[in-house]
Structure 1
Amino acid sequence: MKTNFVNKSLIALAVCFSFGAQASTDFFGYARAGMHVSPDGEKGNGHPDYIRAEGAPNKYRLGNEDDWAELGVRHDMYENGPERAEIGFMMGTWHNPETRSNSFTIMQAWGQMYGILGSDKTSIWAGQRYTRNIADDMLDFKYWDNSGRGFGLRDIEAGSVLMDFATVYNNVAYDDVNNPDSTRRSAVLMPEFRVHGIDFLGGNLTLGANYAYIIDDTDIKKHVGAGNYDRDGYMFTVNHKASFAGTYNIFTVQMNGGIGVGGWHDGEGELLNLTTPGTSYRIMNHGFCTINEDWSCQYSLAYENISMDNASDDGKDWFAAGIRPKYNWNKYLQTEVELGYQLVNSDRFDDSNTSWKATLSQKVHFGTVPHIRFYATYAESETNWEEQSFGKHVATQSKEMDSWTFGVQFEAWW
């Protein structure tokens, strides 16, 4: 079945490619892959340990990540003045460091029409879509991500600002309390509304509201219990992007509640928490500064606090700080150093979980991409409790781990 699925996907992509001779077609994608080895891995099998603090939602990525690839095509099917209709398709594959195997999926497939409602900018779309996600690149953390299957309107003109509306549908996982080894799913509707393009403090302000609602809770009542879940959740977001003094900065504050306690992050509603509701807030600040022609630097700061509604569930707070200075030797060679630290506290335990890592990377490239990166990463972590699942923290024997990872990797986007 998997082979048939892959073959059908490749055929569909080839058909889209063939359109290029007749009309406008754009190809886009991202890929990284290479050799990653560790003589100090915890499992003693040569595979690297991709280190993050236990309980953290993500990790500092340079020299601390596995293979990933996305390949997409966008094709204009119709164009007449401001009116345009397109289709798009993107597939992806990645290497799972836990199972040591590759996964494959269709990430996006959509149709979109531009030039509606009397506006050259406004469009309507339907399909499986990324909905203008916002991410901290150093952490590889998509913290505003309402991806899924649905429809939406983009760039509705309202005076000097623009509005987006989307509604997506996802099958969200939850644990069956009567059978701990069984994972069940319920359908959740996830509408989103954004106002963007607001001029504020020398930058661009975006305001957003997300909502999640369990469409039919009959099954979840049966397998969880009527009093142990919420039926809906929310997230409010304030996001500000600005450039000043050679710096491009992104600052975000988010408030979450109900089944949205974990925030809308990293795709397709998997981090909605149907049986562990609560409230939380998240503050993200990250960006890039150019010091001169030779020196530049990325930076990342994050804080998240989560409180749980059910007395049997455990809240936590997470702090992360990272910096990645870069030196340009010439137009072919760059050296990067990434330092990252994470700390996670549990409401149940006194001791914290921590991690830190340092990566030295030498990049070689012609033009902007692709890069070929030679790197060495040293990382340490201390684990004093484990997060079995969201809101479920258990005691564990305290353990410290340190690991070296060496690798050569290419990275490109287009």
Structure 2
Amino acid sequence: MQVLKTKSNIYFILNKPLTSGRNIVRKKHFSLQIIALFVFSVCYPITSIAAKLTIEERLSLLEKELSDNKIALADNKRELQSTKKELNAYKALMEHKQRDVILSNNAPKGQDHIITEVTRPQPSYLSQQGTQPRQTAAVSEQKSLTLQQLSKYIKDDIGFSYNGYFRTGWATGSHGAPQSYAVGSLGRFGNENDAWFDLQLSQKIYDQDGKTAKAVVMLDGNVSPANSGGWFGSGTNYLQFSDMYLTTNGFLSFAPEADLWVGKHNLPIYEIQMLDWKMHRTEAGSGVGIENWQLGPGKFNVSLTRQDLNDHALDYAATGSTEVVNTNGIDARYKMPVWDKGTLDVFGRYVMANRNDTNRKDEDDGSYYTLKDAWQGGVALRQNFARGGFNEFTLQAADNSIASGYTLLTGANPSYGYNDDYIGQHSYGKAYRLISQGEMYLRPDVIMANALVYAFGNDIYSYDTGAHTDFNNIRAVIRPAYVWSQYNQTGVELGWFDQKK
């Protein structure tokens, strides 16, 4: 049997031999029929015979196939675009990572060395006649500097620097605007409703042969947080020059490491940060001082300053009369290490009046208060902790008008005057203070700040209750805080005080 295939059909032809003549005739006849049928099938497939399609139907089928092909092509294009997009994003990510790696490897670390030329001026010498200075050529040399050293060199060469501080924020109260109360006793967190600032400007004016000189100006004041206008001199808007002085280093032959300054300035203050007052300070006009004088194991600071006060008349309430009295004070301090991260400060201050003839006459006839000498002394032991924080214990004592500052609920500064005024009949009464302040990490993410003050005195002039006052007070403030991250922490402050006069 043979199998014939056409475009649309398959046919079978039997090739079995036939022996008889009749069979031969039949075979021929049968073969002709099969061949005829095959030719007919080729020309007209069975499917064409079974179901003839119209031209419209054929066009419809072609259009459907074309539409299906277009849809498939669009799907393929979308898939191709998506693949390209993912590939480009992946390439960009890899390029970015490679660039970061290259930049991080090539970025300056502050210790990278740069070869630069440094010119050192040479000192000039007088000629043999002693009239005209003989100039010598500057010497240039190449030095290898790190970026940190180069940055410091540029800053030092320019010689200008500034630093400052300000506090501000928003607050309201349940019955109108917020009011501060006994900030120096209850604490300042959420209780201090001003916006104080200071700005210090420093310019180097001389630097040669190991000797330097700088001019320093300090501005400070307050901007009212309650008003949109902030003109200085209106309301609670203030501005003053609290410092204006010249400081030098290397000019003292007996103490070349020490700083010598002259002008309106005072020695550094000792502050109780959480209560916003100073346990030791010098209110000063102009003066002269030496700081960082190395004596033995420690450093010695000393200053002589002036502070003129408005002495009140005894009948000030009725007349408002005052007269100016010149006063001068000396402040001396010595700080030395006692053990690892521990230091001991010993400090003292003495202030006296420098009266003119009018001052003496008015004091002698009892029309004005008599300015009496006053002193303060103390010691402070400070311990810094290895993982951050510190604790400081202070014992101090004072008499006369300086002791009067111990009685104040706010701004309990050891001041010789009350602001720029001298008030009261002082009788050499004495007052004492014990102070503990600090902050420590209870855990790596929990920090506790604290301040505790106990003060008492006898026969003190109080600006609230008058002469011959006995008092004692205690102030306690704690501020625990949780450290969320390197940049955020949340704290709460709790304060309590009690005072009896």
Structure 1 residue 243: deviation in Å?
Answer: 2.0
Q: Deviations over 1:104-126 (max 9, x none)?
A: 11111110110123544211101
Q: Aligned partners of 1:144, 1:233: CA distance in 2, in Å?
A: 14
How many angstroms does 1:39 deviate by? 2.8
**Alpha-carbon separation, structure 2, partners of 1:255 and 1:231:** 17
Over 3 Å counting, the alpha-carbon distance change for 1:258 and 1:332 in structure 2 is: closer
d(CA) in 1 for partners of 2:189 and 2:321? 33
- Deviation, 1:332, is 3.3
Aligned to 1:85: 213
Q: Could you say which residue in structure 2 is the equivalent of 1:17? A: none
Structure-to-structure mapping, 1:44-123, within 5 angstroms:
46-52=176-182, 59-65=186-192, 66-95=194-223, 100-115=235-250, 116-123=252-259
**Quick one: distance in 1 between partners of 2:364 and 2:403?**
19
1:23 aligns with 2:158: yes
How far off is 1:270 after superposition? 3.3
User: Does structure 1 residue 203 correspond to structure 2 residue 342?
Assistant: yes
- Residues 343, 298 of structure 1: alpha-carbon distance in 2 compared, 3 angstrom cutoff: same
Aligned mate of 1:252, from 391, 394, 415 = 394
2:383 corresponds to 1:242: yes
Give the letter aligned to residue 370 of structure 2.
Y
Aligned-residue offset at 1:263: 5.4
Distance 1:222 1:37 in 2: 52
In the alignment, what sits opposite 2:438?
287
Shift of 1:325: 0.6
Partner in structure 2 of residue 215 of structure 1: 354
Of Structure 1 and Structure 2, which has the larger fraction of its residues in strand?
Answer: 1
Counterpart CA distance in 2 for 1:113 and 1:190 is 22
- Is the contact made by 2:162 and 2:201 (CA closer than 8 Å) also made in structure 1? yes
2:495 corresponds to 1:340: yes
Q: Tell me the residue number matched to 1:329.
A: 484
Based on CA coordinates, which of the two structures has the bigger radius of gyration?
Answer: 2
Cα distance in 2 for partners of 1:270, 1:25 equals 35
**What is the identity, as a one-letter code, of the residue corresponding to 2:474?**
F
Q: CA RMSD in A?
A: 3.0
Identify which of structures 1 and 2 has the higher relative contact order when contacts are C-alpha pairs closer than 8 Å and 6+ apart.
1
Q: Which segments of 5 or more consecutive residues in structure 1 lack a partner in the other structure?
A: 1-19, 41-45, 347-414
Instruction: State the alpha-carbon separation in 2 of the partners of residues 130 and 257 from structure 1.
Output: 21
Kindly tell me: are residues 231 and 341 of structure 1, through their superposed partners in 2, closer, same or farther at Cα, counting changes over 3 Å?
same
> Could you say which residue in structure 2 is the equivalent of 1:168?
305
User: Using the alignment, how far apart are the partners of 1:267 and 1:238 within structure 2?
Assistant: 15
Q: Are residues 21 and 204 of structure 1, via their aligned partners in 2, closer, same or farther at CA, if it must alter by over 3 Å?
A: closer
Between the aligned partners of 2:185 and 2:223, the Cα distance in structure 1 is 16
Q: Please, which of 413, 417, 427 is the counterpart of residue 270 of structure 1?
A: 417
2: CA distance, partners of 1:112 / 1:153: 9
Q: Which residue of 2 aligns with 1:318?
A: 473
* TM-aligned CA distance change 1:340 to 1:183, over 3 Å: farther
Does 2:194 align with 1:39?
no
Count of aligned positions: 320
Q: Counterpart amino acid of 1:37?
A: T
Report deviation, 1:25: 1.3
1:294 to 1:170, Cα distance in 2 relative to 1, 3 A? same
Measure how far apart 1:261 and its partner are. 1.9
Report the Cα offset of residue 80 of structure 1.
2.2
- Structure 2 distance, partners of 1:266, 1:229, is 21
Residue range with higher mean Cα deviation, 166-175 or 59-68:
166-175
Structure 2 match to 1:124: 260
8 Å contact kept, 1:172–1:269: no
- What is the Cα deviation at residue 245 of structure 1? 6.6
Q: 1:179 to 1:276 in 2, by over 3 A?
A: closer
CA contact (8 A) 1:176 1:224 kept: no
Q: Which residue of 1 aligns with 2:291?
A: 154
Q: How far 1:92 moved relative to its partner?
A: 1.2
- Local SS of the residue matching 1:121: coil
TM-score by length of 2: 0.58
> Is 1:139 matched up with 2:266?
no
1:79 Cα deviation after fit: 1.3
State, as a whole percentage, how many aligned pairs show the same letter. Answer: 20
SS of corresponding position for 1:87: strand
Measured after TM superposition, the shift of residue 244 of structure 1 is 4.1
**Which letter does structure 2 place at the counterpart of 1:89?**
V
Residues in 2 aligned to 1:36 and 1:326: alpha-carbon distance in whole angstroms: 20
Residues 237 and 200 of structure 1, relative CA distance in 2, 3 Å threshold? farther
Provide the rounded CA distance (Å) in 2 between the counterparts of 1:335 and 1:183: 51
User: Does the 8 Å CA contact 2:213/2:249 hold for their aligned counterparts?
Assistant: yes
